[in-house]
């Protein structure tokens, strides 16, 4: 199946949805994304539930005029690997940017136009949906983790962001070119921001709403011990690199200006 460029406004943009064992929420998320009339790329990250059946059913009922592409991993490779695969496919198909949205129903697809409006003004900036830190059913550990992440992000980039862990984002696809990544899982969303700020990209936060399902129906694949260790290792590396590389480069840029 071939996707064509989006012609709404002046910017060719698609929606990229990485998914892993979120079958109970996927149909609703996809149908609401289809209502935004943008091409969609779904990356099935080795799901072992009914994800493929849900997608097959949706394809029989989706609007014919909206292009859709499905990428399948034979085994779980991580959210970062799925985002990178979606970005490479979007580049191959000629898009300028992509909007990523999680498949767990936390984000509101009806807010995709907020990203498009900002992207039309700043097409080469990364745009991050800012969820705030106080919401019904939001786990306390999420608030703590986000505050810690925000602190290290500021240390590594000298840039303040209110929410560095949101998965609802717009990426100009140029930020995936000519760079070798070190991570493949949840920690990738931190790496892609930090290293692209070092390359000169701007990051713009915009406020979004968020929904946290009750704990008894919520599905999360975050592994507290293993993923926290991965993020800690990445933060250590990025912090050292910031001191040895980014701070001197930023000082030179400031002097030259």
Instruction: List, for residues 227-237, the tens digit of each pLDDT value.
Output: 678 889 999 99
How far, CA to CA in Å, does 187 sit from each of 79, 177, 233, 235, 256? 9, 19, 10, 9, 33
Instruction: List, for residues 137-180, the tens digit of each pLDDT value.
Output: 455 556 677 888 899 999 999 999 999 999 999 999 999 999 99
Kindly tell me if the per-residue pLDDT of 9 is higher than 70. Answer: no
Residue for token pair 């070092």: 198
**What is the Cα–Cα distance from 18 to 89, expressed in whole angstroms?**
13
Give the residue among 45, 153, 42 at the shortest CA–CA distance from 98: 42
**What is the Cα–Cα distance from 257 to 255, expressed in whole angstroms?**
5
**What is the Cα–Cα distance from 6 to 238, expressed in whole angstroms?**
36
- Residue 69, pLDDT score: 96
Instruction: List, for residues 72-87, the tens digit of each pLDDT value.
Output: 999 999 999 999 999 9
Domain 13-256 CATH assignment equals 3.30.1330.80? no
Give the pLDDT band of residue 223 (cuts 50, 70, 90): low
Q: What is the mean pLDDT of residues 14-24?
A: 96
């Amino acid at each position: 199946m071939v996707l064509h460029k989006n012609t709404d406004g002046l910017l060719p943009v698609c929606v990229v949805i990485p998914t892993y064992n979120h079958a109970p929420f996927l149909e609703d998320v996809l149908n609401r994304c289809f209502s935004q009339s943008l091409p969609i790329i779904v990356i099935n990250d080795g799901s072992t539930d009914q994800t493929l059946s849900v997608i097959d059913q949706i394809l029989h009922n989706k609007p014919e005029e909206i292009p859709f592409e499905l990428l399948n991993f034979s085994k779980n490779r991580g959210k970062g690997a799925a985002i990178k695969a979606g970005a490479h496919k979007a580049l191959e198909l000629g898009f300028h940017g992509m909007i990523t949205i999680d498949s767990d129903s936390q984000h509101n697809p009806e807010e995709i136009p907020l990203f498009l409006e900002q992207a039309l003004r700043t097409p080469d900036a990364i745009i991050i949906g800012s969820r705030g830190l106080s919401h019904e059913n939001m786990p306390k550990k999420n608030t703590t983790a986000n505050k810690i992440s925000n602190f290290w992000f500021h240390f590594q980039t000298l840039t303040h962001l209110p929410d560095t862990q949101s998965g609802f984002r717009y990426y100009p696809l140029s930020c995936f070119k000519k760079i070798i990544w070190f991570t493949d899982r949840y920690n990738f969303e931190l790496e892609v921001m930090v290293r692209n700020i070092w390359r000169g990209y701007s990051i713009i936060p915009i406020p979004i709403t968020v929904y946290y399902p009750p704990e008894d129906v919520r599905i999360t694949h975050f592994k507290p011990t293993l993923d926290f260790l991965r993020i800690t290792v990445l933060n250590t590396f990025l912090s050292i690199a910031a001191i040895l590389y980014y701070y001197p480069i930023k000082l030179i840029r400031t002097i030259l200006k």
